[in-house]
Structure 1
């Protein structure tokens, strides 16, 4: 194991690990969004109403959101290598089984199972990035792995559409599930933590640790007691700053979950577009969201490197993005397909900009409770995965989708207001088991 530093040039193993996380995120979101592609045909075959479809769209979110806190605690206790492999394989099995659903109850139950097994994934992602990357590379690394959800959907939505066209919605679920099963084995074979990776040298470990990477945190936490304590949960729920980012994340995810659930149905059923054509048009907003996310991450990190305050460098792109997401309402005022896609893409571009918000988990959470804080953060944000699909289903049940887009736009404004008025000084939350680390705002 190459760990002698001297004047050795740092290795760049952290980017290989980030690439593995990127693929995990692509698969993660394929198995969330495959239902949206299948929805039109599936709804007809299973005779589902608009309201019932909204409930099925939300099923993933019930277990995914409610298990975020346990998922965060699990991420603090178990290594990413084994835990992520377990999650990938189990949620992929439930995805395959969705291809054999026979009605509302079975499909709803299987979507609940998928959400449950995916629950620890983003707390694990955040733990990996916090371990492998220094502070001044954190926002861009988060942007890169989160971009997997947009790049994957942008380029693979037409593929998913084609699979359904030729193999039916049953074949779509089976195919996407098998991909995840295979990748779960690949992840286990190739991922390692920083101190366990045979390719990383001491120079890279020094670069990570001196920059604020927390790969030794597991060692430091030894003997401090369990994180499964009510006082720790109370701590991450009692900070006004954390509540500001929780509310903001709900708003960001509101736009995201519209695109992950109702968007293809909106194009086909409410805008009258051809199914195959809608698959290609659906990729445009996802590409826009990816561009917004990457732009925001690299701008934010560059501002930090140039000496800007952390508060300004991290919050400004998020606020700007949330304000841009309000532009989704513009689609209500045109019947031109190009303009509809423009307004939707602009809104998703803004939502993508705001998704670097995961960086606040790394810089605000107590050092020994990163997984728990990430779980609470993702729980609050993913309440949108429950609320938004159901509310849209009822708002659109009379055949008019305009109130639904107003609803999404209004939530973007709420999120921007939360970052402006609730998120104040950026400093790490302190518990009895952690020492204060002030970060200049």
Structure 2
């Protein structure tokens, strides 16, 4: 019996990654939406809440390179499924917390397992897409991060209102078990996938082979592994900007609901109605940023790597918007500026993530992404602790100014450090 073949299968594969990313971020965003309820229920201070957030961030930071190594070693099919099972179980366990210390423990377990999502996604992009399509593919799967955060407010608020706060974690965690099964039984590498047409396989593997031949010629016998990566200038050209950019996304993900309650006087219903809008704007930034890079290559004949730099710089300049939140005269204007920030961050984030697939051998792309992700989360963790220590005393406004300055500095560092000559990669049609 002949197996039916599906055209453009690579886009179905990235859609499956997107769904997994949505559920990953739905699980992690459930805490921030429930935070006002949990703070009141357990008499939790803002600083104690920041420690709960920090437990997730610290575990995520440590786990990212380890998750990347595991994915490169066992393969993305099995590895992604196992990590998804882990984060689903960890999120469900939040329902049994009895105070901020137990929340911190369960949050740490969630961070250890959720850290695999982005390295896995970038590894899939590197395996399934030729170079000129990668920012588009990354843009589409990266909307999962903002889409998951976007749907979290109405889902979590509904669960809290109808069944209590415990149900919010059980519901947002349980759906991950279903996705893990779907991924394991549905994913194969392009070399082995029985439903991939010969023409699409040639499109994928041919573009990848040209890139790898150019990379091998430039690198010679350069060894693989984290020790070889950590001494490379082009690795730090990604890691340092990600270190500077991640505090913005951590702030949007973990502190927008608290900011709207404490600084703008909104209630839980207002959060459910409006707190998802910045993440909708982030979806637009992720998608538009993905198509922006190949458009620059076609329109202005810039190189592959230069197109990534321009996208990152555009997003960094747009971050001036949320830097001005202190000047907003109403909650609606503050939310609008958060929307600008969500759009900007996901635009620049997609470019930085895709650079890992552009610059590093696909056998270590998950490791490289995880290591750069650790640098990013060190930045996010540090800034979350700063917010916890200072938000109740100096307010949020100066901290939002810092977020804009960080991204502009990151863009300058990317242009300074990333000077590698691009491979001979054809322009997109």
Aligned to 1:124, the other structure's residue is in SS state helix
Aligned to 1:76, the other structure's residue is in SS state helix
Matched, 1:51 2:47: yes
Matched, 1:288 2:281: yes
Quote how far apart the aligned CAs of 1:258 are: 0.6
Matched, 1:275 2:275: no
Matched, 1:343 2:340: no
Quote how far apart the aligned CAs of 1:264 are: 0.6
TM-score, structure 1 normalization: 0.88
Select 1:326's aligned residue among 320, 330, 341: 320
- Checking the alignment, whether the CA contact within 8 Å between 1:243 and 1:422 is kept in structure 2 is yes
CA distance in 2, matches of 1:166, 1:214: 56
Quote how far apart the aligned CAs of 1:388 are: 2.2
* Pair 116,44 (structure 1): closer, same or farther in 2 beyond 3 Å: same
Quote how far apart the aligned CAs of 1:96 are: 0.5
CA distance in 1, matches of 2:212, 2:340: 41
More moved, 290-299 vs 306-315:
306-315
Q: Residue 224 of structure 1 aligns with which residue? A: none
CA distance in 1, matches of 2:291, 2:152: 25
Select 1:315's aligned residue among 309, 313, 320: 309
Within-5 A mapping of 1:22-421: 22-212=18-208, 232-305=225-298, 307-356=301-350, 357-398=352-393, 400-421=395-416
Aligned to 1:194, the other structure's residue is in SS state coil
Quote how far apart the aligned CAs of 1:2 are: 7.0
Q: Residue 430 of structure 1 aligns with which residue? A: none
Quote how far apart the aligned CAs of 1:392 are: 0.7
Quote how far apart the aligned CAs of 1:160 are: 2.2
* Pair 325,257 (structure 1): closer, same or farther in 2 beyond 3 Å: same
TM-score, structure 2 normalization: 0.91
CA distance in 2, matches of 1:340, 1:130: 38
Aligned to 1:195, the other structure's residue is in SS state coil
* Pair 110,206 (structure 1): closer, same or farther in 2 beyond 3 Å: same
Higher helix fraction (1 or 2): 2
Quote how far apart the aligned CAs of 1:167 are: 2.3
Unaligned runs of 5+ residues in structure 2 are 217-221
Quote how far apart the aligned CAs of 1:196 are: 2.4
**What is the number of equivalent residue pairs in this alignment?**
419
Aligned to 1:383, the other structure's residue is in SS state helix
- Checking the alignment, whether the CA contact within 8 Å between 2:30 and 2:152 is kept in structure 1 is no
Unaligned runs of 5+ residues in structure 1 are 221-226, 428-436
* Pair 215,309 (structure 1): closer, same or farther in 2 beyond 3 Å: closer
CA distance in 2, matches of 1:191, 1:19: 12
* Pair 387,322 (structure 1): closer, same or farther in 2 beyond 3 Å: same
Quote how far apart the aligned CAs of 1:233 are: 2.0
Aligned to 1:212, the other structure's residue is in SS state helix
* Pair 88,232 (structure 1): closer, same or farther in 2 beyond 3 Å: closer
CA distance in 2, matches of 1:91, 1:67: 12
Superimposed CA distance per residue, residues 105-158 of structure 1 (whole angstroms, 9 cap, x where no aligned partner): 211111111111122222111111111111111110000000111123324422
Report the RMSD for the aligned CA atoms in angstroms.
2.7
CA distance in 1, matches of 2:274, 2:381: 26
Aligned to 2:7, the other structure's residue is in SS state coil
More moved, 9-18 vs 142-151:
9-18
* Pair 378,438 (structure 1): closer, same or farther in 2 beyond 3 Å: farther
Aligned to 2:419, the other structure's residue is in SS state coil
- Checking the alignment, whether the CA contact within 8 Å between 1:310 and 1:440 is kept in structure 2 is no
